[in-house]
Amino acid sequence: MTASTGGPDGSAEQAADQAADQDVPLALQDAAYREAVVDLLGAIAYGELSAFERLVEDGKLAPSLEDKVEIAAMAAAEFGKVAGIHARISELGTDPFVAMAPFREAIDRFHAHTAPSDWYEGLIKAYVGDGLADDFYREIAAYLDATTRDLVVSSLEDSGHAAFVVDRVRTAIAADPRLGGRLALWGRRLMGEALTQAQRVAAERDALSALLAGGVDRPGLDLAAIGRMFARLTERHAERMAELGLAH
Amino acid sequence: MTASTGGPDGSAEQAADQAADQDVPLALQDAAYREAVVDLLGAIAYGELSAFERLVEDGKLAPSLEDKVEIAAMAAAEFGKVAGIHARISELGTDPFVAMAPFREAIDRFHAHTAPSDWYEGLIKAYVGDGLADDFYREIAAYLDATTRDLVVSSLEDSGHAAFVVDRVRTAIAADPRLGGRLALWGRRLMGEALTQAQRVAAERDALSALLAGGVDRPGLDLAAIGRMFARLTERHAERMAELGLAH
């Protein structure tokens, strides 16, 4: 919300700030936009909260205390994002718990359908789920007012946990190549379940879908653009799996 | 570790700092003291880590998302203390995971024997367990070098969660007085189990016991003083139970 002062290397950022600053009043004036942003933040907040819970649960499968602490740190980082998102929802005039409620069923169902059966499935779920959520936030950030965008983007900061997961998974596959085949299938299942639940949410939450589709008097994505966005998300998922040593 | 500069209102603090500063070299020179402190910090670190895990687990029993978030915040606060304690153990020349290992069995057994059967038992366990641990840290802080003492005392900062537990438990008992009887017994069981496991640890960890008993060339507690310390811990436990509306 600070004025863009510009700088030698800040021209692109400056342009983005100017575009976003013009949108800020909409967050308070446009009821449909506000509803959509509250939906988005409610979904993110419940997503972080349940990721926190599931990561701690999956930490029970850790083969060592070191691994358990690594997963616990990932979990605590997810929970650490919740308070800021709740504060923004409150600023927008909605009780954060009311905002989260519509997304409980889909997110709980995602987790129920993707309960890891061992430590490596848990690691991949943490890595792939986190990466997919981050990609999605990055995609939609452009359609948000500056304050909300900064909040969403700030939750993307990589805290270095990815390297831990990549190391553990690659080492395990090197020791047991058959594990790679099973985990590749697991990664595909995670992506399929995420898309299934995302479509269910999109079908039920008109304001949120309209935000993405540009239907609330704002620039947005037409259906073809949404299709391309999903293609990009799927492509980045495949890159992440490849980084883990899990070619499709 | 900074020099005591003194100040208009810092005389008591200054005296404490001076006393502690004299002890600092012992942390590096006295192998028995170092061993005892590593034991103590290992026990605290594993205690925080397992409290974190159990609180998140108990959060599943929460009757509402609001309650779940409160418990998750208590859990995350426990985990937040682990990194600093690990860093101090490393400074003292021990792998933090090696330092935690001897305490896993007793602490895991404590949790296995005190798995809450409902939300209120979980709340009381969180409140009583946290309070008991804090009282114990406060008791032993006086026998530690300044750096370790500051670290232990800094983990005592009340983050305002106690008020949440007291409110929830008192409200529930007002609505169902029979709950009070059951929870009073539960509180007694928690204390009994904590003492049982503490005695087991004391019997097995000579250096740690010697630190408390003053046997490693430092001021400490004789057996009578240890008895009085346990009496104080039990008394404060009773006060906490009374604050919850659970008279013995």
- In whole angstroms, give the CA distance from residue A168 to residue B115: 32
Any B CB within 8 A of A104 CB: yes
Contact A90, A25 (CB under 8 A): no
- Contact list in B for residue A80 (CB cut-off 8 A) is 76
pLDDT of A168: 92
CA angle at A105 for the pair A104 and A108, rounded to the nearest 5°: 75
What total of structural domains would you count in chain B? 1
Nearest to B97 among A46, A66, A76 (CB): A66
Confidence (pLDDT) at A7: 42
Instruction: Flag if A82 and B60 touch (Cβ within 8 Å).
Output: no
Within a domain: residue A203?
yes
A52/B contact by beta carbon, under 8 A: yes
- What are the helix (H) ranges across chain B? 11-29, 31-59, 65-91, 96-100, 104-113, 119-141, 146-154, 161-175, 177-204, 206-213, 223-243
In this prediction, residue B218 has a pLDDT band, given cuts at 50, 70 and 90, of: low
Chain B interface test: which of A50, A52, A55, A56 (most B C-beta within 10 Å): A56
pLDDT above 90 coverage of chain A, percent? 45
| Residues of A in Cβ contact (< 8 Å) with B100 | 65
**The pair of three-digit structure tokens given for residue B53, joined into one six-digit string:** 């895990």
Domain containing B125 — which CATH number?
A: 1.20.1260.10
Inter-residue contact A101 to A89 (CB < 8 Å): no
SS3 of residue B221 by DSSP: coil
Q: Confirm whether A151 is domain-assigned.
A: yes
Task: For residue B95, give the chain A residue with the closest CA.
Answer: A66
Chain A residue with minimal CA distance to B68?
A49
> Among partner residues B57, B72, B104, which is closest to A52 by beta-carbon distance?
B72
CB A147, CB A27: distance < 8 Å: yes
A199-204: average pLDDT = 80
Better pLDDT: B23 or B125: B125
Amino acid A53: pLDDT: 94
pLDDT band at A214 (very low <50, low <70, confident <90, very high): low
Can you say whether the dihedral through the CA atoms of B66, B72, B74, B80 is positive or negative?
negative
**Is residue B17 a part of any domain in this protein?**
no
Per-residue model confidence as pLDDT tens digits over B39-50? 999 999 999 999
Does A160 have pLDDT greater than 50? yes
- Contact of A45 with chain B, judged by CB distance below 8 Å, is answered with no
Instruction: Report the distance separating Cα A213 and Cα A219, nearest Å.
Output: 8
pLDDT number for residue A64: 93
**Residue of chain B minimizing CA distance to A86:** B69
Q: Does B221 or B231 have the greater pLDDT score?
A: B231
Residue of B nearest to A46 (CA): B65
Domain presence at residue A15: no
Residue B77 pLDDT > 60: yes
Average of per-residue pLDDT across A191-209 = 83
DSSP for B73-122 reads: HHHHHHHHHHHHHHHHHHHTTS-HHHHHGGGHHHHHHHHHHT--SSHHHH
Q: Which two tokens stand for residue B27?
A: 């942390």
Q: How far apart are the first and last CA of chain B?
A: 44
| CA separation, residue A248 to residues A134, A176, A193, A228 (Å) | 21, 17, 17, 20
Taking 90 as the threshold, does the pLDDT of residue A134 lie above it?
A: no
Is pLDDT above 50 for B178?
yes
For the segment B133-176, what is each residue's pLDDT rounded down to a tens digit? Answer: 888 888 888 788 888 888 888 877 665 677 889 999 999 999 99
Is A64 touching B (CB cutoff 8 A)?
A: yes
Q: Does the beta-carbon distance from B100 to A65 stay under 8 Å?
A: yes
Q: What's the ipTM?
A: 0.72
Whether B212 is covered by a domain: the verdict is yes
Residue of A nearest to B86 (CA): A69
Give me the total of CB pairs closer than 8 Å, taking one residue from chain A and one from chain B: 56
Determine the structural domain holding residue A59 and report its residue range: 27-243
* Any domain includes A106: yes
Does B57 reach chain A within 8 Å, measured CB to CB?
Answer: yes
Q: What is the mean pLDDT of chain A?
A: 82
Give me the pLDDT at residue A54, please. 93
- Position B130 confidence tier, pLDDT thresholds 50, 70, 90: confident
Of A24-38, B14-28, B94-108, B123-137, give the lowest mean pLDDT range.
B14-28
- Mean pLDDT over A161-186 rounds to 90
Q: Which residue has the higher pLDDT, A118 or B4?
A: A118
Could you tell me if B47 lies within 8 Å of chain A, comparing CB atoms? no
Question: Span A24-45, mean pLDDT?
Answer: 80
Whether residue A192 lies inside any domain: the answer is yes
Tell me the C-alpha distance between A27 and B72, whole Å: 30
Residue B93 Ramachandran class (φ > 0 left, ψ -120 to 50 alpha, else beta):
left
What pLDDT band is residue A206 in, cutting at 50, 70 and 90?
confident
Domain presence at residue A239: yes
CB A97 to CB B52 under 8 A? no
